[in-house]
Amino acid sequence: MEEIGMNNIKKEEVAVVTGAGGTLCSELAVDLARKGYRVALIGRSLEKLRKTEKMIKEADGNVLSVSCDVRNLAEVKRAHALINEQFGACSILINGAGGNQPEAVTNINEFNERELEEEQGELRGFFNLDMSRFLDVIDVNIMGTVIPCQVFAPDMVRLGKGCIINFASMNTYRPLSRVPAYALSKAGIANFTQWLAAYLAPAHIRVNAIAPGFFLNDRSRKLLMTPDGNFSERGSNILRQTPMKHFGEAQELVGCMNWLINEEASGFVTGITIPIDGGFLACSGV
């Protein structure tokens, strides 16, 4: 864990954003800073965090960046101590860290008998997935959400208020083809969000989740687009079942986040998972 930057501290509330170097959560972090929050950025990549930090500083925001693996309890505790020392107690936690592993993704949509043969070539089905990589996906998405909640929520208990937003997915609702580990973990996020919302309600902490549809970032662009800028077969299939006929843009998550963190607007809202998907879940495709 390493601190990489901070500018002048003002006396506002503190928001912690994990996965803050990513396309989606960097947008949320910048918006929080514009609203006057002191924003603590958490992520594994110092280079990516620096990019988000630079955007916040250019907007005259208050930012503290900390490199940390959210799966590691000791590292998250050290990050928490540093943030408390420099910025104060956390009142908003955005759990955006997560991801997938290529070795945990099949390259076929249904069972093929060649999976059971000794020589499988390039074929990767369920029966020859790398289980260590499968577990990595579950670890980063599930424990990478659970651990920050356990470490940062006590700040909110002491403050007598707080808001946690977890990141779910379309896989929360539908097990999309080829990504069993990711689908399993994101379904778990919705369940954990409900459980934690009920558990923390007496402490006046609200817990909800955002479920982005298909947004373009560095990882998804390789799957949904071709090198010449056209849509891949998977990208075309997704758009065919998306009534709004385009992929999401990061700024389209901001309004939902702002509603969820606003005590006056959503003070009676907890335990829900909100799809932001251009109508994907509403469309059967037939």
The CA-based dihedral angle spanning residues 219, 279, 194, 145, taken in that order and rounded to the nearest 10 degrees: 10
Mark whether 37 is an active-site residue.
no
Separation CA 35–CA 120 (nearest Å): 54
Separation CA 46–CA 223 (nearest Å): 25
Choosing from 37, 173, 182, 199, which is the catalytic residue?
Answer: 182
Among the listed residues 91, 81, 249, the one whose alpha carbon sits nearest the alpha carbon of residue 155: 91
Please name every residue paired with 39 in a beta bridge, in sequence order, or none if there are none: 15, 63
Separation CA 107–CA 116 (nearest Å): 15
Separation CA 56–CA 33 (nearest Å): 6
Among the listed residues 214, 211, 257, the one whose alpha carbon sits nearest the alpha carbon of residue 234: 214
CB-based contacts of 59: which residues, under 8 Å, 6+ apart? 30, 33, 34
Separation CA 108–CA 130 (nearest Å): 15
Separation CA 54–CA 38 (nearest Å): 14
Two structure tokens written together for 31: 């918006």
Separation CA 256–CA 263 (nearest Å): 13
Q: Which residue type sits at 88?
A: G
What is the chain's Cα-based Rg?
19
CB-based contacts of 118: which residues, under 8 Å, 6+ apart? none
Residue positions annotated with a catalytic role: 182
